[in-house]
């Protein structure tokens, strides 16, 4: 599984010539409602096994959590189940807030 920095993800999302990835947030609903990356989809880590059928195995999927640890494990799970292009957001939403949103303000 590849790691992607918040800055790299921000640049990817701004690149009109490149299809946007699926932003898959594996945190709990309370965490997601408190703060999220715009356009991300909530799929708590514990629900992944039952919801794999909702995801495209050939899509670029960026896994998101608070710091990058849970999303890393969830991404490994996807890779083990045949998902080909899985990225982990290194540093999670903490890095996104610090490196992307703060820089844009």
SS3 79: helix
What pairs with residue 89 in β-bridges? 4
Active site residues: 65
Sign of CA dihedral 25, 21, 91, 103: negative
Spatial distance between the Cα atoms of 34 and 18, rounded to a whole number of angstroms: 29
């Amino acid at each position: 599984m590849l790691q992607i920095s918040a800055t790299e993800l921000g640049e990817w999302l701004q690149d009109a010539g490149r299809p946007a990835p699926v932003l898959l947030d594996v945190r709990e609903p309370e965490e997601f409602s408190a703060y999220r990356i715009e356009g991300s989809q909530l799929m708590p880590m514990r629900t992944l096994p039952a919801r794999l059928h909702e995801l495209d195995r050939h899509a670029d999927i960026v896994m998101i959590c608070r710091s990058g640890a849970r999303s890393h494990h969830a991404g490994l799970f996807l890779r083990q189940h045949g998902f080909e292009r899985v990225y982990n957001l290194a540093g999670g939403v903490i890095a996104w807030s610090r490196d992307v949103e703060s820089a844009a303000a």
